[in-house]
Amino acid sequence: MSEIALKVSDLSFAYGAKKALDGVGLAVASGECTILLGPNGAGKSTLFSLITRLYDARQGRIELCGFDIKRQSLQALAKLGVVFQQTTLDPDLSVSQNLRYHAALHGIGRKAADARIREELERLQMYERRGEKVRQLNGGHKRRVEIARALLHKPKLLLLDEPTVGLDMPSRRAIVDHVHQLVKQQNLAVLWATHLIDEIADDDSLIVLHKGRVEAGGKLSDVLRDTACADAGQVFQKLTQDPPGVAT
């Protein structure tokens, strides 16, 4: 039985009168890549903001590796690695400087930090470029650095908020493959928000979020069976009822 890295129960959140999340429940286990699929405005970003504790929900509960995000936030956040939708690297600093800053925030000493930076960057074939300023990197390479950064403190759960937006096909493919590899090799739990259907692998889990509600959830094969659809694209169409326009 794999360990549950993220458990969200009965989570609701509203911006004023506008409800963004309505009774959301989901779980992500270690060694599992869960794709969070939803059109714009479905509540993906709100869900991520609540998991990363940018703000607190008044209703519902979020647990990271058994730690309540509200009451035991520091223990919970220590288990979490995040890649936000927008680049959050400092463009004027080098790759190493950016990563060392992150390591310091997580209390990792200089020597240990340098070793981990090497390990993570080598995995992504970026170690030779550690001295370059982030400004000089292309979009795909910046993303790689951000993934390396999110893994520096060895989190149990990796949150990816549309990390491939704006990247070309080869860069996207490289990131998708890399993350799936991490899930298998390091028993990492991944929650990946996207609206790009082709980023879903056959053995991934799928959660379809629409208008703040979970419309379907489970292993991709189970969701396909339950919804009588041939592929994830059809599931998305059927459950969100949006006109075509979803990138594939």
Partner 1 sequence: MRILHYWRAMAGIVGRELLRFLHQRERFVSALVRPLVWLFVFAAGFRAALGVAISPPYETYVLYEVYITPGLLGMILLFNGMQSSLSMVYDREMGSMRMLMVCPLPRWFLLCSKLIAGTAVGVLQCYAFLGIAWLYDIQAPLMGYGWILPALVLAGMMLGALGLLLSSFIKQLENFAGVMNFVIFPLFFMSTALYPLWKIKESSPLLYNLAQYNPFSQAVELIRFALYEQFNQQALIYTGAAFLLFMGAAILGYNPSRGMMVKKGG
Residues whose CB falls within 8 Å of the CB of residue 125, separated by 6 or more in sequence, listed in order? none
Question: Least distance to partner 1 from the beta carbon of 60, Å?
Answer: 13
3-class state of residue 207 by DSSP: strand
Residue 230 beta carbon to partner 1: minimum distance, rounded to whole angstroms: 37
The arrangement of strands across the sheet holding 67-68 comes to 18-29, 4-15, 59-64, 67-68
127 CB contacts (<8 Å, ≥6 apart)?
A: 118, 121
| 1 part of the interface to partner 1, by CB under 8 A | no
| Cα-Cα end-to-end distance for the chain | 33
Closer residue to partner 1 (CB): 188 or 216: 188
CA distances to 37, 91, 208 from 228, rounded to whole Å, are 18, 47, 15
* Choices 34-42, 73-81, 189-197, 240-248; region in contact with partner 1 by CB under 8 A: 73-81
Query: Could you tell me how many residues of this chain bind partner 1 (CB under 8 A)?
Result: 39
Rounded CA-CA distance 135/84 in Å is: 18
Q: Hey, which residues between 78 and 107 contact partner 1 (CB under 8 A)?
A: 78, 80, 82, 84-90, 92-93, 97, 100-107
Tell me whether residue 113 or residue 223 sits nearer to partner 1 (CB atom): 113
Strand partners, 161: 193
Number of helices (H), then strands (E), in the chain: 8, 10
| Smallest separation (angstroms) from partner 1 to the CB of 146 | 9
Task: Identify which of residues 134 and 232 has a Cβ nearer to partner 1 in the complex.
Answer: 134
Quick one: which of 53, 61, 211, 213 contacts partner 1 (CB under 8 A)? 53
Among 9, 41, 55, 248, binds partner 1 (CB under 8 A): 55
Per CB under 8 A, 112 contacts partner 1: no
* Structure token digits, residue 11: 């989570």
A 10 A CB-CB count for 192 gives 26
Are 31 and 1 in contact by the 8 Å Cβ rule? The answer is no
- Which C-beta is closer to partner 1: that of 66 or that of 222? 66
Among 52, 187, 227, 237, interactor with partner 1 by CB under 8 A: 52
Q: Contacts with partner 1 in 144-173 (CB under 8 A)?
A: none
Q: Measure the CA–CA gap between 125 and 128, rounded to whole angstroms.
A: 8
Pick 111 or 228: Cβ nearer partner 1: 111
The reply on whether position 75 binds partner 1 by CB under 8 A is yes
Given the rule CB under 8 A, which residues bind partner 1? 15, 45-46, 49, 52-56, 58, 70, 73-78, 80, 82, 84-90, 92-93, 97, 100-109
